[in-house]
Amino acid sequence: MGLAARIAASTLLLVPAAAAQAQGAPARYNLQTPVTGLAEQIHDMHTLMLVICLVIFVGVFGVMFWAVIHHRRSRGAVAANFHENTTVEIAWTVIPVLILLGMAWPATKTVIAMKDTSEADLTIKATGYQWKWGYDYLQGEGEGIRLLSSLSTPREQIEGGAAKGENYLLEVDNPVVVPVGKKVRMLLTANDVIHSWWVPAFGVKQDAIPGFIRDGWFRADKEGVYRGNCAELCGRDHAFMPIEVHVVSAEKYAAWVAEHREKAAGAAADEAREWSMAELMTRGEQVFGTICAACHQANGKGLPPTFPPLDGSQVVLGDKAGQIDIVLHGRPNTAMAPFGGALSDADVAAVITYTRNSWGNHTGEAVQPAEVKAGRNKS
Amino acid sequence: MSETLERYFVPEPSRFPIFGSVALLLFGAGAALWVNQVKAGPWIFFLGIAILIYMLFGWFGQVVRESQGGKYGTRVDASFRWSMGWFIFSEVMFFAAFFGALFYVRVLTVPALSSGENEALLWQGYSGAWPNAGPRALDTAAVEPFTPMGAWGIPAINTLILLTSGATLTWAHYGLLKDKRGQLKLGLLLTILLGAIFLGFQAYEYVHAYGELNLRLDTGIYGSTFFMLTGFHGLHVTVGAIMLTVMLCRAVAGHFNSQHHFGFEAAAWYWHFVDVVWLILFVVVYWL
Amino acid sequence: MAAVIPDPLDHHHHHAPSGLMRWLTTTNHKDIGTMYLIFSFVMFLSGGVMALTIRAELFQPGLQVVQPEFFNQLTTMHGLVMVFGAIMPAFVGFANWQIPLMIGASDMAFARMNNWSFWLLPPAAILLLGSFFVPGGATAAGWTLYAPLSVQMGMGMDFAIFAIHIMGLSSIMGAINIVVTILNMRAPGMAMMKMPLFCWTWLITAYLLIAVMPVLAGAVTMILTDRHFGTSFFNAAGGGDPVMYQHIFWFFGHPEVYIMILPAFGIVSQIIPAFARKPLFGYASMVYATASIAILSFVVWAHHMFATGMPAVGQLYFMYATMLIAVPTGVKVFNWVATMWRGSLSFEPPMLWATGFIFVFTIGGFTGLICAIAPIDIQIHDTYYVVAHFHYVLVAGSLFALFAGAYYWLPKWTGHMPSDRLGKLHFWCSLVFFNVTFFPMHFLGLAGMPRRIPDYALQFTDFNALATIGAFGFGLSQLIFLAVVVKCARGGKPAAAKPWDGAEGLEWTVPSPAPYHTFEEAPLVK
Ligand code: HEA
Ligand code: HEA
Ligand code: CUA
Ligand SMILES: [Cu+2]
């Protein structure tokens, strides 16, 4: 009876698993369908390990349950009195060692392959921010492109006010785009705390450590959209900083790069000129919404005591240079990270202007990109 | 057969532990509030310390009375020996965490930060020559340069002082073993004095570091490891000196005899342990 | 043979305090053991309530029950409370009750300090749980308290740091007490290699505790100074390194997980032979296996850090070393099975729990091995696969063994037999609901659900719902245990001095309930 219950309990869970696997349903019970050679190797290795472990498991517990059923006192079993047998003991030490060696061999090869980041076609630096990703195309086609990529699922879906979309929590405003079949080297770093860049279909997970550069690589074999998450607890919105990678054909990639170049050129021209108050406010509201509102909240009230309000803040109402300094360089040891790297001069100018003239703040002062530039150079 | 084993002394119920627990609750809560600039913090903290001191006095006082009362046989004595050994082992592991941190940054972190892509993309120009205060100190406008602590001034003298104190302590122990009470007391007194001089020099060195060398706790990783290691060591010297002072008082009061004096030996073991930590410290913190 | 003073009235403590003062001032290992056990059960319930809140939030996608910041606080505190509040003190409680009884000692070596070790825990718990109510709430950096996130936290983090210091102090004193008791207070004839395995596993565990708790204290102290005194241990700009924190933490943390499982192995090794009515198959190899696990546990820590980007040699070394631990652990599993083989088995509650332990713990061991394969770990690190792994070893491992031990020794502690029927019900409910809760988490992890998130993508919905249902069932099942213990303490079938016919050891030579003072004259062990 006891045994039956136990078997029922475990098979109940395994049957649907096996069934779904047979139908080839995507990634419900197993690792996601791999699209890189490395992910493929990992997938197969996992299957191998699972089988080995299952075989040992069935063997060991076959013996145990045989004893449980047949060597019961209620069945009149009388205890034998054997113990210590050197041969048996050596066998059950040595055989597992051999099995482990068999497991370690393929794993070693994969580890070495994963670490080989040389001869990449494209190098992209990803920077983790609380709670979004910044990407810099450092080398290869598209060099110089910069994007900031944050969750695009609307708040209402999360809070239950609206129906959840298909890619709920796995969608971003500016996805990373890479060409198919090219070796992409990812450099990882972070601005504030540790994050981790993870795309399961690529078999890449690499922590992004503030102050250090770490790397990993992938070569996607199939066009498509691949999604992942930040995989290291990084504070409040850790669940809300997904990664979305579009793998596209060489032509589409070239087109994407060209489009981006154009936009960037336009933006650069913008940086230099004098901005009107209205322009700054519009741009500032947008930057604030995507970057600052995560902590300071759209209504400027923050979430005290951790995240101070900007509405009525002495810093915001005080000297411009002081605020420029905080936004560019952050406050050490707090969540207020330096944003100078992620934002352009115009963005910083706009967001500061916006905070100084929103909610209950009415300084009437506009901050120009040139002032921000000066703030950057000062230290 | 069971008669061969002497009865093991089991103390009566005691109020001291619960005082100690209240003390540490206040200590912990007070410290946590204090570091967050809550006004009541230091008061609670010092109240905790006061209760702790009361508890330690009472508790150790009782242990001394029990010991003098002959309640501890050889088995209890053996327990004390084992426990002191294991306690010192735990202290070794505590220091190991900080020494480990020092080795880790010197062997791995600083070289990594000052080379390859870390240097090229994040910390341009950081050379990593030890001692340094980390890459942010490159910006000399924001971070004033510091002078590292030399090894051959006060630290070297302090090394000699501690080594000498180890010798005077052993000399005192011989006195005790040979029932020369004068030698015991003088040896202890000298050891404590040497410990005090050591601490005095150490304090002077800190003042010098803050005042003239611009070397502070927040001077990057060099300042962090320097002050945390020497600071915890200094704290241990202080505790050791207090232990020895208690032993001196007990010696004056006529406690200990040539067979029965584990209290003294425990303090001595501790002192030698603190000595050894200093030697390692002198080599890896000051010298290399 | 046993020198027992059956009179519970103490003859040389003329004014033994009563009421609350008895418990505050006691130096009796049985009193202290009882307090440890009650404390840990209370902490288990509070950690469990946090777990249920976590599960309730994860029942459906979207945010319904708690806000993300509070969710992270719950996860963090659940981990800390269960590890430091529930599992570790529970094993210390067993050690307090059983070790003196098993080796024929009159009490622990340092009875007064023993009291302090226990009474340090409530203050630590007050600091830890109280931190929920300080501005900014409890720390939300995960039970691993990784820098620099923990450096960013509010005041609750400082409370957690000091709580950890106090718990560390308690553990170190408790461990020293246990080591010294075992080394110095065995009855004549009780050679080391004759000691019950529970004592052996605790000796080795205590050694691990003394070695690693100070390291944890060092790690959190560095966090404290980084937070408030401007040091740069974990800050690259000052020349420090966040990954260094992880190395120091896991140098503590990995041995810590064996601290939570070795005494469990000890308990199970007592119970299996008793109910198989057959001696343990390989006593000596069990001792050596325990020691090997302890030694290996110091050299494998970075298997928690495969995703930090260690060089290939580092990954390979830590992978191989970790895999090796499967060998001594396997030796244990095989030994238990061989002990059962051709025994005369009966399945009273202790044996049910012990058998369940072997079965489910081994699943957790195998998933651990799969985590140890570095490339696979890259995929499953920080996902629910890891959550599944460690609940299999911690809940089905440590916790199940604790229940096994409780059912086994309750007759000795209370003088009454625990209810057989309720004990079996407790077991079967727990086993089923445990698997319903945690088995689906393997699938979630493989398919890509990260851990420590309050909200998830839609494809994870049904397994999360299932896990939540299981968790509530599992939680309710634990109330059965509460009922069993209360009933057993109040009354019930009186227990004989040796209620289990196959059991062996000195603890069964004293009456049930064990008198207040036992073995004041040491027994002689042949
Ligand atoms: C009681 C606690 C406990 C125990 C006993 C274990 C046991 C093991 N653990 Fe586990 N582990 C944890 C608690 C525990 N773990 C916790 C709490 C975490 C997460 C911490 C956090 O991040 O919050 C963790 C995480 C963790 C990781 C990191 C995962 C990640 O974050 O990415 C790894 C990786 O190697 C790992 C490996 C192992 C291994 C190899 C064992 C081995 O000891 C298992 C050995 C047992 C067996 C293998 C089964 C029996 C053997 C046989 C039947 C013999 C034959 C077998 C073969 C030859 C294959 N564990
Ligand atoms: C040490 C032991 C231990 C134990 C025993 C448990 C027990 C449980 N754990 Fe725990 N868990 C950890 C250690 C432990 N856990 C650790 C170390 C972490 C990692 C933390 C981190 O990431 O930092 C973790 C993380 C963790 C997570 C992941 C959280 C996240 O990543 O965000 C989850 C999610 O399901 C979970 C669930 C549970 C459940 C359902 C139980 C159940 O077994 C609990 C059952 C008990 C009860 C439910 C209480 C008893 C009953 C009552 C009080 C009566 C009331 C009950 C009802 C009305 C139903 N745990
Ligand atoms: Cu970023 Cu988690
Ligand atoms: Cu581990």
| Contact (Cβ atoms closer than 8 angstroms) between residue C173 and residue C117 | yes
The fold adopted by the segment(s) C27-509 is: Cytochrome C Oxidase; Chain A (1.20.210)
Interface membership of A331 toward B (CB under 8 Å): no
Over 80: is that where the pLDDT of C87 sits?
yes
Q: Is the four-CA dihedral C38, C43, C44, C46 of positive or negative sign?
A: positive
- Locate the domains of chain A by residue range: 3-28+118-263, 37-115, 273-378
Of the residues B108, B115, B117, B123, the best mutation for testing chain A's interface (the one with the most A CB atoms within 10 Å of its CB) is B117
- Taking a C-beta distance cutoff of 8 angstroms, is the pair C497, C511 a contact? yes
Q: What is the pLDDT of residue A27?
A: 63
* For the CA of C336, the nearest ligand: 1
pLDDT at residue number A112: 93
Interface contacts A/C by beta carbons within 8 Å? 307
Q: Are A205 and A214 in contact (CB under 8 A)?
A: no
Residue where the block lists tokens 């106090």: C166
Interface B-C, measured as beta-carbon pairs within 8 A, has a size of: 238
The answer, yes or no, to whether residue C14 has pLDDT greater than 70, is no
The ipTM assigned to this model is 0.91
Residue A219 is encoded by which pair of tokens?
């070569």
DSSP A355-375: HHTSTT--------HHHHHHH
What distance in angstroms lies between residue A240's CA and the mean position of ligand 3's atoms?
8
**Largest Cα–Cα distance of chain C, in whole Å?**
69
Say whether C105 sits in a helix, a strand or coil: coil
Residues 6+ apart with CB under 8 A from C499: C411, C412, C417, C512
- Contact C225/B228 with Cβ under 8 angstroms? yes
- Token readout for A156 is 């209402």
CA distance to A206, C244, C454, C467, per residue, from C378 (Å): 8, 20, 22, 24
Give the pLDDT band of residue A4 (cuts 50, 70, 90): very low
Write down the pLDDT at residue B30: 96
Interchain CB contact of B11 with C (< 8 Å): yes
Q: Can you give the pLDDT of all 288 residues of chain B as single tens digits?
A: 344 567 788 888 899 999 999 999 999 999 999 999 999 999 999 999 999 999 999 999 999 999 888 888 888 999 999 999 999 999 999 999 999 999 999 999 999 999 899 999 999 889 888 889 988 888 777 778 888 888 888 999 999 999 999 999 999 999 999 999 999 999 999 999 999 999 999 999 999 999 888 899 988 999 999 999 999 999 999 999 999 999 999 999 998 988 889 999 999 999 999 999 999 999 999 988
**Mean pLDDT confidence for A1-18:** 46
Give the span between the Cα atoms of B273 and B87, in whole angstroms: 11
- Helices (H), strands (E): how many in chain C? 20, 0
Peptide bond into A105 cis (omega under 30): no
Residue with the smallest CA separation from ligand 2 atom 20 is C79
pTM of the full structure: 0.93
Interchain pair A233, C278: CB under 8 A: no
- The residue whose two tokens read 């079949």 is A181
User: What pLDDT does residue A1 have?
Assistant: 37
Residue A342 has pLDDT above 70, yes or no: yes
Cβ(A200)–Cβ(A95) under 8 Å?
Answer: no
- Do strands A195-199 and A204-208 pair parallel, antiparallel, or not at all (unpaired)? antiparallel
Enter the tokens of residue C33. Answer: 């053991």
Question: Residue C61's pLDDT is what?
Answer: 94
Q: Which residue of C has its CA nearest to B33?
A: C155
- Chain C positions touching A60 (Cβ under 8 A) are 333-334, 337, 362
Nearest-CB residue to B28 (from C110, C162, C232) = C162
| Residues in A touching B139 (Cβ below 8 Å) | 379
| pLDDT at residue A12 tops 90 | no
Contacts of C125 in chain B (CB under 8 A): none
* CATH of the domain spanning B73-287: 1.20.120.80
Looking at per-residue confidence, does C257 or A7 come out higher?
A: C257
Question: In degrees rounded to 5, what are phi and psi of residue B138?
Answer: -60, -30
Report pLDDT for B130.
Answer: 86
Distance, in Å, from the CA atom of A222 to the CA atom of A179, rounded to the nearest integer, reads 10
Measured in Å, residue C77 CA sits from the centre of ligand 2 at: 10
Contacts of C302 (CB under 8 A, 6+ apart): C247, C250, C310, C314, C318
- Reduced to 3 states, what is the DSSP secondary structure of residue C31? helix
Ligand 4 centroid–CA C373 distance in Å is: 13
For C218-246, the pLDDT digits (tens) are: 999 999 999 999 999 999 999 999 999 99
Element holding C43 (H helix, E strand)? helix C29-58
Question: What is the percentage of chain A residues whose pLDDT exceeds 90?
Answer: 47
pLDDT of residue C15: 57
What are the sequence ranges of the domains in chain B? 1-72, 73-287
Whether the per-residue pLDDT at A208 is higher than 50: the answer is yes
**Ion ligand 4 residue ranges (Cβ < 5 Å):** C 254
**Rounded Cα distance, B240 and B267, in Å:** 7
Separation in Å, CA of C103 to nearest CA in chain B: 14
C299: closest CA of chain A, how far (Å): 18
Considering CB atoms only, which of A46, A89, A96 is closest to C326?
A96
Quote the tokens at residue B108. Answer: 């791995």
Q: Is the pLDDT of residue C4 over 70?
A: no
Q: Please report the pLDDT score of residue A22 as a whole number.
A: 42
CB-CB contact of C214 with C208 (8 Å) = no
Q: How far apart are CA B241 and CA B169, in angstroms?
A: 11
Whether the CB-CB separation of A175 and A246 falls below 8 Å is answered with yes
Q: What's chain C's average pLDDT?
A: 93
| Distant-in-sequence, close-in-space partners of A345: CB < 8 Å, separation ≥ 6 | A271, A369, A370, A372, A373, A376
Q: CATH number of the domain at A273-378, out of 2.40.37.10, 3.30.950.10, 1.10.760.10, 3.30.420.40?
A: 1.10.760.10
Search chain C and give the residue with CA nearest A308: C136
Cβ contact C242:B112 at 8 Å: no
Break chain C into its structural domains and give their ranges: 27-509
As assigned by CATH, the class of the A37-115 domain is mainly alpha
- pLDDT tens profile C315-374: 999 999 999 999 999 999 999 999 999 999 999 999 999 999 999 999 999 999 999 999
Q: What is the pLDDT of residues A16-39, one digit of tens each?
A: 444 444 444 456 788 999 999 999
Query: Which two tokens mark B91?
Result: 């202290």
For residues B232 and B159, the answer to whether their CB atoms sit within 8 Å is: no
Q: How confident is the model at residue C272 (pLDDT cuts 50, 70, 90)?
A: very high
Buried b (16+ CB within 10 A) or exposed e, B134-162: bbbbbeeeebeebebbeeeebbeebbebb
The reply to whether residue A212 touches residue C324, judged by beta carbons under 8 angstroms, is no
pLDDT by residue (tens digit) across B62-99? 999 998 888 888 889 999 999 999 999 999 999 999 99
Q: How many residues does chain A have?
A: 379
CB of A213 within 8 Å of any CB in chain B? yes
Mean pLDDT of C404-424: 96
